[in-house]
Chain A
């Protein structure tokens, strides 16, 4: 199962635990996380369910490409890391 991890900066604001979830895309994986932690969704995605401008998501060390659809594929061993950009602070 893909592993999802969040920046410690985010965990200061809301509950954002590292976890293993199902999913074949970043969207599917994060939706599983949000199902257990609904308040977390609005910190990472905006009203239109797109990645916030100053949030970056890495998949296996590479920045995610599809910031609107979050359709980047993940596999069972993938590591998804959600961090804040250096901009926007």
Chain B
């Protein structure tokens, strides 16, 4: 069985296979259509691609044969808005939050003991659940109707975005989600009830009295260690945070070098102390520090970080890596990331060295491994 790397891009889904030791692009699906999100369901091998037609809206496509053929199934749809539903406005713009699917920003499988269960995070902030492998979807009303949603606002997009869904491998009814900007939310009953968590996380850009409010935080991405699910890493708008108690409390790390700003993070599947980030300068300067691209790695729980540069451009580099565009394979050694300017790099030695797959690709939204 060949290893695969799937790239969701501005111009379609690219299938990259490792054949005779060499990674090569072998197929493009949905040519010229944006693919912002992809899930390869580890329970079944099914590929699920969010396909975002500019004119015709987002659809979900499913493949049971590794991407050779695709079948459109149901797409998450917001129910018709009741006329008496109190308007929820974006507190920043004061505009009503749309009651319709704008974008899909998260797709994750339920636990091994939850066959057919899928989670889908969307913009403008609705979480959807499917119990039948995507044949139908239901808006998780317990979260959508939660009064805390009134605090949410847009971060990476104009409207709130659910971009992270972490299912606890010890107890799949326990799920964490992260919202940009709406903090971290936890359910322990598969979505029936929700609690906003996250003490210690702060947003410097907010007025002082709201700075530590867990319900407005701009988590860019959270990674849960499969072998130690209480260990979480977060790339936040205001830096890098880690938690060792399942996200209830967070420590701000000030050791990142060259920068603690970025979007993506991944954690080693077996070693909770090892994590990777791709830094930019800071929020208003979203380019690599000194135009030299690097990946940051910590192997000691964040006490120190090292900048990994071998194989990455060290001058005139403008690459930014979106939150879903850095991936680690199950082997804990193979990583890949793609950039806004269409380059993809692969490392097979934990990030020590990188090899560029291509510099000619569309902007990269999503990177996922299979069978590595």
Give me the interface of A with B, judged by CB distance under 8 Å: 9-10, 13-14, 39, 42-44, 46-49, 52, 54-55, 84-85, 88-89
* Identity of the chain A residue whose Cβ is nearest the Cβ of B80 in the assembled complex: A48
| Contact flag A54-B54 (CB < 8 Å), given A47-B77, A47-B101, A49-B80 | yes
Contact B54–A43 (Cβ < 8 Å): no
Residues from chain A with a CB closer than 8 A to the CB of B55 are: 9-10, 52, 54-55, 84-85, 88-89
Cβ contacts A to B, 19 pairs, < 8 Å: A10-B56, A39-B72, A42-B77, A43-B59, A44-B56, A47-B77, A47-B79, A47-B99, A47-B100, A47-B101, A48-B78, A52-B55, A52-B56, A55-B56, A84-B55, A84-B56, A88-B54, A88-B55, A89-B55
- Would you call B57 and A43 a contact (CB within 8 A)? yes
From B56, B77, B80, B81, A13 is in contact (CB under 8 Å) with B56
With both chains docked as a complex, state the minimum distance between the C-beta of A67 and any C-beta of chain B, in angstroms: 13
Given contact pairs A42-B59, A43-B59, enumerate 12 new A-B contacts (beta carbons under 8 Å): A13-B56, A42-B57, A42-B75, A47-B78, A47-B80, A48-B80, A48-B81, A52-B55, A54-B54, A54-B55, A85-B55, A88-B54
C-alpha gap A45/B75 in the complex (Å): 13
B27 at the A/B interface (Cβ < 8 Å)?
no
CA distance A42 to B73 in the complex (A): 11
Interface flag for B53 (CB, 8 Å): yes
- Which residues of B lie under 8 Å from residue A55 when comparing CB positions? 55-56
Which one, A13, A39, A46, contacts B101 given CB within 8 A? A46
Query: Which residues of the partner chain B approach A42 to less than 8 Å between Cβ atoms?
Result: 56-57, 59, 75, 77
Shortest CB distance A87–B (Å): 8
Cα A14 to Cα B77 with chains together (Å): 18
Q: Which residues of A contact B77 (CB under 8 A)?
A: 42, 47
User: Which B residues have a C-beta under 8 Å from some C-beta of A?
Assistant: 53-57, 59, 72, 75, 77-81, 99-101
B58: nearest residue on chain A (CB-CB)?
A42
- B-side contacts of A88, CB under 8 Å: 54-55
The CA of A14 and the CA of B71, in the complex, are separated in Å by 11
Q: List B contacts of A47 (CB < 8 A).
A: 77-80, 99-101
Shortest C-beta distance, A48 to chain B (Å), equals: 5
Q: Which residues of B contact A52 (CB under 8 A)?
A: 55-57
| Cα A84 to Cα B75 with chains together (Å) | 20
Q: What chain A residues lie within 8 Å of B79 (beta carbons)?
A: 47
CB distance from A86 to the nearest CB of B (A): 10
| Complex interface: chain B residues within 8 A of A10 (CB) | 55-56
Residues of A within 8 A of B75 (CB): 42
Shortest Cβ gap from B99 to chain A (Å): 6
Please measure, in the bound complex, the distance between the C-alpha atom of A84 and the C-alpha atom of B79, giving whole angstroms: 25
Contacts of A44 in B (CB 8 A): 56
CB nearest neighbor in A for B139: A47
| Residue of B54, B59, B75, B99 contacting most chain A CB atoms (<10 Å) | B54
The 9 closest A-B pairs by CB, nearest first: A84-B55, A43-B56, A47-B100, A47-B78, A54-B55, A47-B77, A88-B54, A89-B54, A46-B100
Cα of A72 to Cα of B186 in the assembled complex, Å: 46
Residues of A within 8 A of B100 (CB): 46-48
Q: How far is the CB of B42 from chain A (nearest CB, A)?
A: 28
Across the interface, name the chain B residue whose C-beta is closest to A48: B100
Complex CA gap A44/B55 in Å reads 8
Known: A14-B72, A48-B78, A48-B80. A43 touches B101 (CB 8 A): no
Q: How far is the CB of B121 from chain A (nearest CB, A)?
A: 16
Chain A contacts for B53, CB-based, 8 A: 13, 43
Tell me, rounded to whole Å, the shortest Cβ–Cβ distance linking B186 to chain A.
Answer: 27
What is the CA–CA distance of A34 and B81 in the complex, to the nearest angstrom? 21
User: Across the interface, do B57 and A46 meet the contact criterion of CB distance under 8 Å?
Assistant: yes
| Least distance between A23 CB and chain B CB atoms (Å) | 21
- Which partner residue on chain B sits nearest A41 by CB separation? B77
- A85→B54 CA distance, assembly (Å): 10
Q: How far is the CA of A5 from the CA of B327 in the complex (A)?
A: 44
Chain A hits for B59, CB < 8 A: 42-43
CB proximity of B2 to chain A, nearest CB, Å: 30
**How many Å lie between the Cα of A9 and that of B100 in the bound state?**
24
